[in-house]
Each structure stands twice: as structure tokens, then as C-alpha cells.
């Protein structure tokens, strides 16, 4: 319990900054939505005239209508994924390896508790942190959407989107924690985690760009959920969710395993 | 001079990795170009018939897809993103590492002024940025020249590629300022990656919205590549803003660091 509290306290400032940035992005995006719809273009009629392949290639589902608040908001999902991924992966990487970096590992690990009793509260603190980040995103989204949608916050669709976001956050937390446990020090763990995020993002860009690269889709979590299917069709891809959760569990297990046999620097 | 040399020696390994990966990403993306160039021309015709709001929403307004440079600016946006992370990393790490690794007691008691130490360290960051840029520039030049069947606009190529230098200097000075401002930095990458990604998302958001005020927030917007290919020059207002901000960050770094209370062992 003490470790959990300590971990929460160590991250409170950064969590507040992250949440503020997220709220600002939602605010800035939705504020300008008003100006965007004022242009009065009937997009759905227009899109009906184009061949479906072109729309698919460009990542615009035939149903995506940017003048509707749901369609506009679904574009945000990419931004949420990027920010949430950076937040979660860095949390995981730092939380596991922090004591060695600060040279206080001999203090913590000499306590009469087993190693997994140290890692467990740290990871629970990580889950709570990403959950708070998720909830703040959720609250800000519903609030700002309702401002522009005659009071209707689209609670159901947004909660589904947030569920998908949470699964992704969990995945990235597990990824970061695994690197933190396996790699030598914090610096290396954060660097590798950062490289993975940039790599995942670039793969997702390349997949959009060139249709022969579609097979790469399974390698990047950023392509597991699509904002438009979540917000418009109200569907969460079951297979994607299961794959991500299973991989997360594997990563968490590896974290425990690697950490138990880790040679702690003192 | 010793400080400069030592910094360069310590940063050598990560500099090599960064140079190779930046150039690698760029070359890989450019290699897609021959296979989709005919497709791009078809897109071009379709896109031109879209209403302007929709073109903006997709980020394809003013897009000329039928030359190699119009494609080149697309992967280069991601080089700017990655390069910004690298530069900010260096900026934040270069001073704060002395305090973090408890080597401050060794360095700051040497008979050199703090300002001199800072200027040497800034020089080291600048040299590393220049090396990165030179490397990326040459890699890009070779790739574009090989892939392009017909002659391309060299001035535009230089303008696009040099925007990396401006973006990197901006983020490096921002990083220096952050490291002088915060009392103690334990881990560098979460800070630099967080800041860069937030700026990048503000820029992406503004691609859709085209709001002038929002455009001032994100340095990525100062060197908007699609604007570049239209005007064939950097926007003078943004360039001025860039100069002012970089100058301010560097000034504040010296100022704050000169009075900073440095923790010792």
C-alpha cells in the first residue's frame, strides 16, 4: 500500500500536466468545429458520387461525415491514441526501473517484501493513472461535444471510444513495463519505448499510403481500432480487443518474470 | 574546448543511431513513390473536384501530387516529428545530465564560468544538429535524384529539407530552457516526447481547422511544407517569431542557469 501511495504521489504532477494538455486539445478542436460546420457543405451527398475504393484508400469510410459532430470527433481518436501511448509507455518504463536510476534500490528491495509485491503496486498505480487520464478525456469529450450538439454528449459512442483507448493504454503500459524490466536502465528503456511508438506510428502512416502494405496492419496497435467505426457504427472490434489484451497480459507476465531474476544495481 | 569535445564524444553513439534511422525512414518512404506515382495522378484529378472545406479536412488542399517533391514533403513531415524529438532530447539532456548523474560537482568547480560551460554545451548540441541535417540532406538528395525521372525544383527541395534545421534548433533551445527552468529532471524522454507530440497534434489539428491563432502555438506550423511549395519561401512573420523565441529561450537558459542552485552529492 505504501509503495502504491508513493508511486501515485511521484506521478501526480505529470498526470495533471498530461490531463491539461488533453483537455486543451479537445477544447481547441471542438471550439473550431462550429466554424467548420458553418461552411454548409452537404458532404454525404457529395461523397456518394465517388468510387468507394478511393474513399477506402484514403481512410475515409463512406459514412464519415465531417459536418456531423460524431464524424468530426472520430478524427480525434488518432490524437488521443498518440498522446495516451506516450503517456502510458513512459509510465511503465520509468515506474519499473526508477529505483535503480535514483540509487535507492537497496533501500526498497531490502524491505521484507517479495519482488512481485513491489512491482504489483507499481503496476496498479500505473493502471489507475491511465484510467484517470482516460476519464479526464472522457469527461472533457462529453462536455465539449454536448456544447456543440444541442446538449447531447453522445455518451454511448464516446464511452465505447474510451474503452478502446483504455485497451490501447493498457497495452502500452505493459510494453513500457516490460522494457523497464528487461533492459538495463531507465534511459535505455525509455529510448526503446519511444522508438517503438514512433515506429508504430510510421507503420500506420505507411499502411494508409500504400495498399500493398496492408499486411503490416497487424504490427501496429494504432491500426487496431478505427475512430470512425467506434463513433459512427458504435462497434468495437472484438478480435482487436482480444489480441491486445492477450498481448498485454503476456507483457505483464514477462515483466514479473524478468524482474524476479533481475540483477539489481546498487 | 574540452567540454565540447567530451560532449560530442558522449553523444556520438546516439547521434549515429538517430542519423541512420532518420535517413532510413525517409528513404523507405521515398521507395514507395515509384509504385504509387501513377495512382497519385488519378487521385489528383478526383481531389480537385472536392469542395475546399473537404480538401482542407483531409489535408489535401493545395496539394500537387504529380511531382516527386509534392510526395517528398509528406514523409518529410514525419522526419520533422522524429527530428524534433531528437533535438529536444539533446537540449533537455545536455545540462541536466550533469545534475542527474551527480557529475556537477566535478564539472562546475573547474575554473571556467558557468556561462562558458553552457555555451560549450549549446555548441555541442548545435554541432550534432548540423551533422544530423547534413546527413539527412545528402541521403534525401541522393534518393530524390535517383527516383525522379525528370528534373525537379532544387530550390523547393532545399527549402523543404532545411526546415528540419529550423525545427531542430527550435526544439533544442526549448529543451535547454526547460532543463534550466525545472529544478531536477530525472528522465529526459517522457518530457521531450510529450512536448513534441503535443505540439505535433496541435499542428495536425490546425491542418484541419486553419486557425491563425492556433497556428502560432505550434512550431511545426511555422514551416508548413504545403505552404512552402506554394509560396516558395518561408513565411517572414513565422521566421521572425522563430528568431525571437529561440533567442528568448537561449537568453533565459543563460540567465536562469547562472543563478541556479545546483544540488551536490
CB A147 within 8 A of CB A203: no
Contact A60 B58 (CB under 8 A): yes
> In chain B, what residues touch A98 (CB-CB under 8 Å)?
186
DSSP state of A216: G
3-state class percentages of chain A: helix first, strand second, coil last, to nearest 5:
80, 0, 20
Q: Is the pLDDT of residue B123 over 50?
A: yes
Contact A82 B197 (CB under 8 A): yes
Contact B214 A32 (CB under 8 A): yes
Name the nearest CA neighbour of A47 among A180, A239, A228, A171.
A228
Interface test with A, best of B36, B53, B65 (most A CBs within 10 A): B53
Q: Is the pLDDT of residue B51 over 50?
A: yes
> How far is residue A4's CA from residue A126's CA, in Å, rounded to a whole number?
9
Q: Domain range for residue B16?
A: 2-258
**What is the pLDDT, as a whole number, of residue B254?**
94
Interface test with A, best of B51, B81, B190 (most A CBs within 10 A): B190
pLDDT average, residue stretch A143-150? 84
Q: Is the pLDDT of residue B27 over 60?
A: yes
Which residue in B has a C-alpha nearest to residue A37's C-alpha?
Answer: B53
* Residue range B154-171, pLDDT digits in tens: 888 999 999 999 999 999
Asked whether residue B178 is domain-assigned, the answer is: yes
pLDDT average, residue stretch B202-225? 79
What is the rounded average pLDDT for all residues in chain A? Answer: 84
pLDDT average, residue stretch B68-94? 90
* Residue range A178-206, pLDDT digits in tens: 999 999 888 899 999 999 999 999 998 88
Q: Does B209 touch chain A (CB under 8 A)?
A: yes
> How far is residue B146's CA from residue B148's CA, in Å, rounded to a whole number?
6
3-state secondary structure of A67: coil
Contact B190 A94 (CB under 8 A): yes
Which residues fall within 8 angstroms of residue B155, CB to CB, at 6 or more apart? B232
Q: What are phi and psi of B7, to 5 degrees?
A: -60, -45
Asked whether residue B265 is domain-assigned, the answer is: no
pLDDT average, residue stretch B103-128? 90
> How far is residue B196's CA from residue B82's CA, in Å, rounded to a whole number?
9
- Please count the helices (runs of H) and the strands (runs of E) in chain A: 10, 0
3-state secondary structure of A110: coil
> In chain A, what residues touch B73 (CB-CB under 8 Å)?
none
Domain boundaries, chain A: 2-260
Name the nearest CA neighbour of A202 among B77, B119, B217.
B77
* Residue range A28-80, pLDDT digits in tens: 888 777 666 665 555 555 555 555 445 544 545 444 566 677 877 887 888 88
Q: Which of B193, B202, B214 is closest, CB to CB, to A194?
A: B193
> In chain B, what residues touch A28 (CB-CB under 8 Å)?
202, 205, 214
**What is the pLDDT, as a whole number, of residue A62?**
44
Q: What are phi and psi of B235, to 5 degrees?
A: -70, 125
> How far is residue B170's CA from residue B88's CA, in Å, rounded to a whole number?
8
> How far is residue A122's CA from residue A5's CA, in Å, rounded to a whole number?
9
Give the distance from residue A160's alpha carbon to the nearest chain B alpha carbon, in angstroms.
22
> In chain B, what residues touch A27 (CB-CB under 8 Å)?
none
Contact B32 A206 (CB under 8 A): yes
Q: Which of A79, A186, A202 is closest, CB to CB, to B78?
A: A202
Please state the pTM of the whole predicted model.
0.86
**For the CA atoms of A222, A227, A230, A236, what is the dihedral angle to 10 degrees?**
-10
Asked whether residue B198 is domain-assigned, the answer is: yes
> In chain A, what residues touch B58 (CB-CB under 8 Å)?
58, 60
> How far is residue A260's CA from residue A181's CA, in Å, rounded to a whole number?
9
**What is the pLDDT, as a whole number, of residue B60?**
59
pLDDT average, residue stretch B211-224? 81
DSSP state of A217: G
Percent of chain A surpassing pLDDT 90: 39
> How far is residue B81's CA from residue B219's CA, in Å, rounded to a whole number?
11
Asked whether residue B264 is domain-assigned, the answer is: no
Which residues fall within 8 angstroms of residue A122, CB to CB, at 6 or more apart? A3, A4, A7, A95, A96
Q: Which residue has the higher pLDDT, B85 or A58?
A: B85
**What is the pLDDT, as a whole number, of residue B53?**
66
Which residues fall within 8 angstroms of residue B4, CB to CB, at 6 or more apart? B120, B121, B123, B124, B127
> How far is residue A176's CA from residue A181's CA, in Å, rounded to a whole number?
9
Name the nearest CA neighbour of B186 among A181, A168, A105, A190.
A190
Give the distance from residue A238's alpha carbon to the nearest chain B alpha carbon, in angstroms.
28
Q: Which residue has the higher pLDDT, B133 or B154?
A: B133
Q: Is the pLDDT of residue B197 over 70?
A: yes
The pLDDT confidence band at residue B137, using thresholds 50, 70 and 90, is very high
**What is the pLDDT, as a whole number, of residue B261?**
82
Amino acid at each position: 500500500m505504501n509503495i502504491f501511495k508513493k508511486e501515485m504521489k511521484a506521478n501526480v504532477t505529470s498526470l495533471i500536466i498530461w490531463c491539461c494538455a488533453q483537455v486543451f486539445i479537445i477544447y481547441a478542436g471542438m471550439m473550431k468545429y462550429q466554424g467548420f460546420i458553418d461552411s454548409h457543405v452537404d458532404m454525404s451527398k457529395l461523397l456518394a458520387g465517388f468510387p468507394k475504393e478511393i474513399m477506402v484508400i484514403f481512410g475515409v469510410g463512406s459514412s464519415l461525415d465531417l459536418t456531423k459532430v460524431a464524424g468530426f470527433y472520430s478524427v480525434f481518436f488518432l490524437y488521443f491514441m498518440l498522446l495516451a501511448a506516450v503517456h502510458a509507455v513512459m509510465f511503465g518504463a520509468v515506474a519499473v526501473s526508477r529505483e535503480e536510476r535514483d540509487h535507492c534500490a537497496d533501500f526498497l528491495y531490502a524491505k521484507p517484501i517479495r519482488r512481485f509485491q513491489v512491482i504489483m503496486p507499481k503496476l496498479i498505480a500505473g493502471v489507475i493513472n491511465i484510467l484517470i487520464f482516460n476519464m479526464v478525456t472522457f469527461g472533457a469529450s462529453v462536455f465539449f461535444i454536448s456544447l456543440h450538439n444541442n446538449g447531447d454528449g453522445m455518451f454511448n459512442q464516446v464511452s465505447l471510444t474510451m474503452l478502446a483507448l483504455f485497451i490501447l493504454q493498457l497495452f502500452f503500459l505493459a510494453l513500457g513495463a516490460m522494457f523497464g524490466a528487461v533492459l538495463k536502465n531507465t534511459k535505455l528503456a525509455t529510448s526503446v519505448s519511444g522508438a517503438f511508438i514512433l515506429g508504430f506510428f510510421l507503420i500506420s502512416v505507411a499502411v494508409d499510403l500504400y495498399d500493398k502494405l496492408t499486411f503490416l496492419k497487424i504490427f501496429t496497435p494504432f491500426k487496431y481500432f478505427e475512430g470512425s467505426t467506434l463513433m459512427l457504427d458504435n462497434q468495437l472490434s472484438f478480435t482487436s480487443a482480444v489480441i491486445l489484451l492477450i498481448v498485454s497480459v503476456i507483457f505483464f507476465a514477462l515483466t514479473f518474470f524478468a524482474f524476479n531474476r533481475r540483477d539489481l544495481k546498487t | 574546448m574540452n567540454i565540447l569535445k567530451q560532449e560530442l564524444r558522449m553523444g556520438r553513439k546516439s547521434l549515429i543511431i538517430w542519423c541512420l534511422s532518420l535517413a532510413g525512414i525517409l528513404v523507405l518512404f521515398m521507395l514507395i513513390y515509384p509504385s504509387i506515382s501513377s495512382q497519385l495522378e488519378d487521385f489528383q484529378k478526383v481531389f480537385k473536384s472536392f469542395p475546399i472545406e473537404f480538401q482542407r479536412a483531409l489535408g489535401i488542399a493545395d496539394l500537387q501530387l504529380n511531382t516527386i517533391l509534392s510526395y517528398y514533403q509528406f514523409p518529410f513531415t514525419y522526419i520533422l516529428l522524429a527530428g524534433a524529438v531528437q533535438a529536444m532530447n539533446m537540449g533537455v539532456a545536455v545540462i541536466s545530465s550533469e545534475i542527474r548523474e551527480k557529475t556537477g560537482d566535478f564539472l562546475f568547480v573547474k575554473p571556467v564560468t558557468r556561462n562558458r560551460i553552457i555555451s560549450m554545451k549549446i555548441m555541442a548540441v548545435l554541432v550534432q544538429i548540423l551533422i544530423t541535417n547534413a546527413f539527412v540532406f545528402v541521403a534525401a538528395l541522393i534518393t530524390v535524384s535517383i527516383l525522379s525521372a525528370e528534373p525537379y525544383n532544387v530550390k523547393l527541395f532545399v527549402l523543404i529539407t532545411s526546415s528540419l534545421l529550423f525545427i531542430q534548433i527550435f526544439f533544442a533551445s526549448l529543451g535547454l530552457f526547460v532543463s534550466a527552468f525545472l529544478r531536477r529532471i530525472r528522465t529526459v524522454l517522457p518530457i521531450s516526447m510529450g512536448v513534441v507530440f503535443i505540439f505535433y497534434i496541435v499542428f495536425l489539428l490546425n491542418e484541419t481547422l486553419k486557425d491563425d491563432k492556433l497556428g502560432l502555438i505550434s512550431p511545426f506550423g511555422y514551416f508548413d511544407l504545403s505552404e512552402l511549395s506554394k509560396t516558395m519561401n518561408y513565411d517572414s512573420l513565422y521566421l521572425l517569431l522563430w528568431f525571437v523565441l529561440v533567442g528568448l529561450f537561449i537568453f533565459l537558459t543563460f540567465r536562469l542557469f547562472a543563478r541556479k542552485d545546483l544540488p551536490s552529492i
